[in-house]
Amino acid sequence: MILNSKQIVRINRDDFNRVSSLYKFIDVAGRANDQTVDIVMDSLEIEKLKNSGIKYYIVEKKFYKDVYPTTAQVYDSITKLATKYPSLVDVETIGFTYNNRPLVIMKINGKNPDTCLVRYQFLLMANHHAREWQTISTALFFVDSILRAYSTNSTIKKLIDSTYLVVFPMVNPDGYYYSMDQNNELWRKNRTLRNSVYGVDINRNYPGEVNGDIRGEWGAIYNSSTTHYPSSDVYCGPYSGSEREVQSVMNLAKRFSFNISISLHSYSELVLYPWGATSDTALDNTLLSNLATKIASKMLKQTSGTYTPEKSDALYPTSGDSDGWIYGYTKFVKGFTTLPFTFEIDTGFSPPTTTLAQLHRRVFPGILYSAFLCESVYGVPKEVPLKPILSSSGSNIIWNLKNSNKADYYKVQNYDSIYTYKDSLNGSIDSIISTDYKTYRIELSKTTPYSAPYSLRPLKKDTTISSLEFFDRLYVQNITDSLIFYMQYDLETNYDKAFLEYSYDGFFYEPLDTLNGIFTGSSTTWKRYSFPLSRFLNKEITIRLKTVYDDGTINATGLKIDNIYPVPTAKTRTTLFESCTDTFISSTDTLKYFFVTSHHPVLGFTHKSDRYFFKILRSVIKDSLGDIKENKDILIDFSNRILTIKNSSKAKKSLRINIFDVSGRKVFEKNVKVENVEKFDLNFLASGKYYLVILGDKNYKEGILILK
């Protein structure tokens, strides 16, 4: 039994906000009961608390290391279960940690554990936080129990046969090894080493709530529950999704269609559900709340009563947690919602043998009930209409989208003459802010702009997150295209930060540049920045600058940005239909870009399509080439990205091959003489739709190429 140098401090729950205001960040351990909160503190933090006059006492915590498996023994237990039940369990390594430890999942199914072939899917995770040892043994107890019962219990057999269960029993093996094997019992983070500092709190590193609300994005700071300061126990990482453990969980959510996910944490005897960053309720709040109540009723507390269901922000808001990302991503990006819950099990860390055995049996019914829920909740969550994909037939513009039955109507717009420009911010205040940008807590500043009269500045207030984003998505047309701007900043180093991020849909954002697109500290003279966009060639993206300030910000200047290029805009933006209830329109408009935005009856407008220019492209080609006539001597074949042209006549044909993208830009041109067969490798083109025109002596051949 070993005591850690840090200590657990217990305060009254009513004093929590006062305590959190004393520090830039705090490491909450959990709640031993409804009236108190436990916080992990070092000696300096305890001294500060003592001087504040707030009542507290030290929890004399003992760690029963002999009860818990070493890291090697956890891996061994997983292997033994798979060996004992080879027809039910398949073990897969889905990644490796910073210290090269495997990230291992167990896939369980009575029909085919290797490949998911069933409708109902369940995810169980444990040990996001290194010191929460009992979560690993609880997950393994669940697996061992249901596998033992498969041959004798018809109910369990039905569950395993009909449901694909994925169990990730040790999400943070590097952290567990350091905490358990190496006697650093209160260690919370993983063990990634950057700039001589170890670790990220991986349950603060997920890329936000992905619901279109900037307040729930990764890196937002509330009540000292997360920070950008690397030495803190609640450090959220250098950028969203930076950690290998987090990437592995994200890939599972993308790969499988889980109905329910459970993440085991300790401690507080709670069942938590989204959202966790704000007090806003989720679209499925009634369903989540009802399920959490039923699940909680299956698990007995250590003293009396059953677990308590709570929305995740009940004690304090957090950003970057697994539940928020899983729920938001699967609903707003994937279009098939996973209902996620966190179980805060037990009333302390690492209980002794007798208490641990009881804990396993108290929590098991809640996990089992959650797995059974996969069947009953299938198809029940309220889905969201995703991004419309536009095409055309004759004079009709048609759109298809996932979850189209969830849209009550669509907004249809066309833009005249889309172009980009360098924004020197010299227009009127209203036109600058509202026309070409979407802003959250952004203001115009007349103080020493790079070019008069204005620069743009995020509002500099404590615990503020702000966003400056293009109103329209940017289409990257040339491999040499770059994002360019001038910026100066004075940000409290490693507390206040700014990030460049991009998104394909306006919901799921990723870092634009993990090396140079992150700003903190001071650069008080105007400096030019340039970021290549070549990896987005022939794609549409939105770009934003996100700035976060923590509590107690001290730097006066903040951040200013000016002379932004390329800013996408349009000569005119015309709304043709504000509320179209069909999934097509007839139009005779030419030389315009079309956009369709889906509308949800509760959430309002959600996803906007990419630009569509196909109708215009045909007009442009015909205007420049005359009427297109089919040359029956020329045969075209296109497969595996190889364009084959066959000349069936006896005479050699002189041809010019043209390929246009959907914006009308010519991406390929070649003059050839075809005597028999000529082949052209088009692997250099990005995936997408292209328009093919082959010209001969007043004879033309046209067609569509779709590259996937």
Residue 173: CB partners within 8 Å, gap ≥ 6? 71, 74, 97, 101, 102, 103, 127
Mean pLDDT value of segment 581-610: 90
In a domain, 209, yes or no: no
Distance, CA of 440 to CA of 593 (rounded, Å): 27
In a domain, 215, yes or no: no
Domain match, 315 and 360 both: yes
Identify which has the larger pLDDT, 436 or 401.
401
Stretch among 22-36, 42-56, 606-620, 632-646 having the lowest mean pLDDT: 606-620
Which alpha helices (DSSP H) does 12-54 contain, by range?
16-20, 43-52
Domain match, 42 and 111 both: no
| Total number of domains in the chain | 4
HSE-CB of 435 using CA atoms within 13 angstroms: 15
What backbone torsions phi and psi does residue 226 show, to the nearest 5 degrees? Answer: -150, 165
Mean pLDDT value of segment 468-472: 93
Encode pLDDT of 301-322 as tens digits: 999 999 999 999 997 899 999 9
- Single residue among 377, 404, 438 that ends a domain in this structure: 377
Stretch among 166-175, 262-271, 596-605, 658-667 having the lowest mean pLDDT: 658-667
In a domain, 411, yes or no: yes
Residue ranges making up the domain that contains 44: 7-59
Domain match, 432 and 346 both: no
Contact 7, 38 (CB under 8 A): no
The torsion region of residue 350 among left (phi > 0), alpha (psi -120 to 50) and beta comes to left
Residue 603: CB partners within 8 Å, gap ≥ 6? 283, 384
CATH of the domain at 553: 2.60.120.260
* pLDDT over threshold 90, residue 404: yes
Question: Which helix (H) or strand (E) element contains residue 290?
Answer: helix 285-296
DSSP per position, 65-112:
GGGS--HHHHHHHHHHHHHH-TTTEEEEEEEE-TT--EEEEEEE-SS-
- Single residue among 608, 641, 674 that ends a domain in this structure: 608
In a domain, 386, yes or no: no
Domain match, 620 and 598 both: no
Distance, CA of 398 to CA of 546 (rounded, Å): 35
In a domain, 384, yes or no: no
Encode pLDDT of 515-535 as tens digits: 999 999 999 899 999 999 999
Estimate to the nearest angstrom the gap between the alpha carbon of 255 and the chain centroid.
14
Give the pLDDT band of residue 112 (cuts 50, 70, 90). very high
Domain match, 490 and 433 both: yes
Mean pLDDT value of segment 323-336: 98
What backbone torsions phi and psi does residue 110 show, to the nearest 5 degrees? Answer: -80, -15
Strands (E), 230-358: 260-265, 270-273, 308-311, 339-344
Per annotation, catalytic residue among 344, 469, 492, 702: 344
Domain match, 307 and 410 both: no
In a domain, 216, yes or no: no
CATH of the domain at 20: 3.30.70.2250
* pLDDT over threshold 90, residue 193: yes
CATH of the domain at 328: 3.40.630.10
- Single residue among 322, 348, 377 that ends a domain in this structure: 377
Residue 86: CB partners within 8 Å, gap ≥ 6? none
Model's pTM, two decimal places?
A: 0.86
Domain match, 650 and 530 both: no
Domain match, 356 and 485 both: no
Contact 133, 350 (CB under 8 A): yes
In a domain, 202, yes or no: no
Domain match, 179 and 300 both: yes
* pLDDT over threshold 70, residue 462: no
Distance, CA of 263 to CA of 127 (rounded, Å): 8
Distance, CA of 51 to CA of 66 (rounded, Å): 38
Distance, CA of 94 to CA of 77 (rounded, Å): 18
Domain match, 42 and 118 both: no
Among this protein's residues, is 344 annotated catalytic? Answer: yes
Question: Which helix (H) or strand (E) element contains residue 162?
Answer: helix 154-162
CATH of the domain at 692: 2.60.40.3080
In a domain, 219, yes or no: no
Domain match, 115 and 44 both: no
Domain match, 316 and 435 both: no
